[in-house]
Chains A and B, each alone.
Chain A
Amino acid sequence: MKTSQPANRPNPPRWAQRLLTWLHPAETLEEVEGDLDELYTYWHRRAGKTEATLRYVLNVVSVVPPFVRRRQRQEEYRHPSTLHPAMIRSYFKIAVRHLIKNRVYSFINIGGLALGIACCLLIAMYVYDELSYDRFNTNYDHIYRLVEKQKQPEGIFDVAATPGPLAGTIIKDFPEVERVTRVGRWSGLLSQERQSVESNQMLVVDPGFFSMFSYPLLSGNPKTVFRGPNEIIFSEAMAERFFGTNWRQKNILGQSVKLNNEQSLMVVGVAQNPPVQSHIEFDVLLPFKWLERNDEWSMKWNSNSYHTYVQLRPDPAGGPADPTAFAGKIRSQLKRYDSGNETPLLLQPLSDIYLYSKFAFETDHGRRSDIAYIRIFVTVGLIVLLIAVINFINLATARASQRAKEVGVRKSVGAQRVSLVMQFLGEALLMTGLAVLVSLVLAEVLLPLFNDLASKSLQIPYQLPVFWLTIATLIAVVSLLTGLYPAFFLSSFRPINVLKTGVAGHFSNVQAGRSFRKSLVVGQFVLSITLAISTIVIYRQLAYMQTTKLGFDKAQLLYVRLKGDLRGKALRLKSEVEPLPGVAHASVATSNMVDMNNSTTIEWEGQKPKDEFLITQMNVDADFVKTVGMSLVAGRNFSARITSDTASKLGTYLINETAAKRMGWTPASALGKRVKFWGTDGTIIGVVKDFHFRPLHVSIAPFIFRFRPKDFYFTLLVKTKPRLVTQTLTDIAKVYKKLDPDHPISYGFVDQDLDAQYRSEQRIGRIILCFSILTILVSCLGLFGLTAFTAEQRTKEIGVRKVLGASVASIVALLSKDFLKLVVIALLIASPIAWYAMNRWLESFVYKIDIQWWVFALAAVLAIGIALLTVSYQSIKAALMNPVSSLRSE
């Protein structure tokens, strides 16, 4: 009777009930609430309302924390593992169906990722190659090169050359040094009877060279070679050139070869060609003993022309010795033997030589690269990959609505969040795997282009385990990067929302995702636009460097290198070249006008004590100014007819404007002033207009010309008449052959050599150009996918708008506006970044362009134009759709 009428049933105090629901653990709330209600009714019947209420409250308190014991949650149902084969099959099937159903998006995702991964692969190969230089040496970890930090009037210079006697003192004074060798450069003509070959890379080395470095001898005993002075070792390539391809049969050891038609040297060995990945290159090796006999300078402390390499003894454990202690000891080694020489000696590890060698005065030679390339390559490679990853994330989250129902159903039948996350990560893994397959094909196709960019000849190293390891790491990292956010985003849907209300159910989620996507798109375009602006600036600077007025006329200026005896007979060669029909002017000089840095100190009239500077110098003749097209600001040119001009006691000099200014004169007042340089007094007879004799990275320095026809000349400069260059070249070659039959002619064009100075900048420019095209391409792929998706989502809206009279143009504008806004924001962010970065880059040039506003405008027009093209295809397609077909299907 009581139970059937809930209205009559006594009710416990409401506040106590609320306290219970609020504080009691959720797991047992239902049963406890029920039990207490039942007990209340029982108490009420037995003892009345007051007592019942009192006991109810007391008992409520007994079941709230901290008194209550929590029931341990129990698994009601054992979930099948995510790794169960049936589940994997299901996930795989769904993933493949989605791939095939959304072909366009799959293509964008996989294509973009493949491009990014291909870039990364190529760059990884490049970096691996660069970092493996010199590692073929067994003593790789123990070898160091001694370098100097020279203090000059202009500042401190790193110099890779050291005095000849240094090596001997190092091995004598320091027991921790195991071996030492000097390496010097030499050049000359090798001959035997009528056979003669000019060597390009002749090195002079100590016997320790063969045990320190791993350049094995194919024949000859590395332990005994180079003990005597008159010995020579050929490289394999040189032996082939000199003795023919069958040199192995000829028993060439012990044969005698003439160097520069003077000294006879005995072939004592043939060395294997130095590997490509070696910072030392040679085709002929000569012993230092020979040099010491022929070049007394090599034994003097004030000579500074040789690399000195040391090999330290390994530490007791056999590992590489710590170089710091040794570095401290050798710091003042020069001062110990050459008093007054304060130049400190430093150690440069072998591992740093190839990538980190930046030495002044061309003291470092051989194959070198620059760590900057690695940095640039790695940065831009990661940027491309990042943009591709962003595409993936954007499309995956944008298209979340398509997967929402699936997530809802999976969750309702008991899928846990973990297994959903695993599913979506698995899909990312599948996509990345496919992308890697495509990227291998792409890398194979792009390899020639990349080799050209990086000036390498790389092959994809399929046989290396480390390559497959890299691929595996790449797949793992990229699938995590691409999959993590979408996986957590998609698996967060609440089944009740997505299943009950459909697409609108997770509307709030999509909204949240939209601003995230927008910022990612902005990020992509910031990166691409920054690269685009950088490309424009770099190319402008390159063009500037090629067109800027140098102060002399580099066009049609030919130079011929003078070798051997011809250096003393230069004027005769000149007099025979001058009458040739194609020759406008000819002159002899000591340099070919490209990167001249033969400098020395000078004393001048009115010099203050301690005021000194370095002046670059050059020996020329009277026709020089005419030939290179310089102009005089004041005074006169050298003249062969004025005897005092060529006098060895009191000669005459020409200086440039900077030199005049540096010595405190105006061009006019400089005339007639006395200077003393290289021990010779002279007067200044003219001032030439400033000209660039070094790359545009540095400002114009003081320069002085002397006119000493009796001294050596190294170069013949020829100004050719237009359109007669080839003819003139053959004519000059004939004359040259007549005067110097021993040496083959070597010549070049001044303008080409000047351009070659900026090869590194040109390379950087091309790299950045290629990668900025790539980033824009990949960003636009993503943009294309996003617009396609938005257009698809808004099909109905567009249909309604069209029915109500919207024009195609207004709908295109509606769809494009959103994305263009993002590109404009990206432009605003990218411009200052690019401006800052490019200013930093331009700082390395003294002569440079200003970054003008139109560079940004151009980048803006480009970016917006390309984005508009990408977006408009989809939006026009959507706008042209017949509203009937889009609205009918409801």
Chain B
Amino acid sequence: MRRTYLGEFEEIVLLMVAILDGEAYGVTVSQEIEQHTGRQVTFGTVHNTLIRLEEKGFVNSLLGGATAERGGRRKRLFKVTALGSRALQDIQQLRNELWQLLPPNTLKLGGS
């Protein structure tokens, strides 16, 4: 299977969509990222990343859930696809394997 490269920010956004489990849309995703990583990201970055992830087939989306708060406008809710969850697991597994290969003292030597 062709591996699709996933950038660092893309990985975070994809993880967030997975975490939010059906409640993921532009607002929640950017709020969560801000809260959990402390990073100030513009809405445009999140918006673009979500579109890119959908183009790559890691998430799919659905319009719905209009609220008065939004002036009756619908949200685009994102969900992780099978391909997306597999990509996340692959990354996780790769990291784990790499951590296993790490010689025991290395990090202590370099770190504080």
Contact = CB atoms under 8 A, between A and B. Distances in A.
Given A4-B68, A37-B69, A38-B27, A31 B74 contact: yes
Given A30-B74, A32-B26, A62-B42, A38 B51 contact: no
Contact of B43 (A9, A30, A36, A72): A36
B95 interface: no
Contacts of A59: 42-44
A41 interface: yes
Among A3, A28, A62, residue most surrounded by chain B Cβ atoms (within 10 Å): A62
Contacts of A32: 26, 43, 47
Contacts of B27: 35, 38-39, 42
Contact of A72 (B47, B55, B67, B73): B55
Interface string A3-44: 110100100000000000000000010111111111101100
A72 B25 CA distance: 18
Interface string B56-78: 00000001001111110111100
B43 A31 contact: no
Contacts of A63: 43-44, 47
B48 A34 contact: no
B26 to A, nearest CB: 4
A157 B84 CA distance: 91
A58 interface: yes
Interface residues of A, number: 28
B74 A58 contact: no
B89 interface: no
A71 interface: yes
Contacts of A39: 27, 30-31, 43
A67 B44 contact: yes
Contacts of A33: 70-71, 73
B52 interface: yes
A871 to B, nearest CB: 58
A746 B48 CA distance: 102
Given A69-B52, A72-B55, A34 B47 contact: no
A38 B30 contact: no
Contacts of B66: 34
Given A34-B70, A35-B26, A38-B69, A68 B43 contact: no
Contacts of B73: 30-31, 33-34, 37
A34 B31 CA distance: 15
A68 B46 CA distance: 10
Contacts of B63: 30-31
Contact of B68 (A6, A30, A62, A67): A6
A3 B67 contact: yes
Contacts of A30: 63, 73-74
Contacts of B42: 58-59, 62
A4 B26 CA distance: 22
B66 to A, nearest CB: 8
Given A58-B42, A62-B43, A62-B45, A37 B52 contact: no
Among B51, B68, B70, residue most surrounded by chain A Cβ atoms (within 10 Å): B70
A3 B69 contact: yes
Interface in B3-45: 25-27, 30-31, 42-45
Given A31-B25, A62-B42, A37 B51 contact: no
Interface string A415-453: 000000000000000000000000000000000000000
Contacts of A6: 68, 71
A39 B44 CA distance: 12
A72 B48 CA distance: 12
B106 to A, nearest CB: 40
A42 B47 CA distance: 17
Contact of A62 (B25, B44, B67): B44
A129 B52 CA distance: 67
Q: 8 nearest interchain CB pairs?
A: A62-B44, A34-B73, A34-B70, A35-B26, A62-B42, A69-B48, A59-B43, A31-B76
Given A3-B69, A35-B26, A37-B70, 7 more contacts: A35-B27, A35-B70, A39-B30, A41-B69, A61-B44, A67-B44, A72-B55
5 contacts: A32-B26, A32-B43, A34-B70, A37-B69, A63-B44
Interface of A: 3-4, 6, 9, 28, 30-39, 41-42, 58-59, 61-63, 67-72
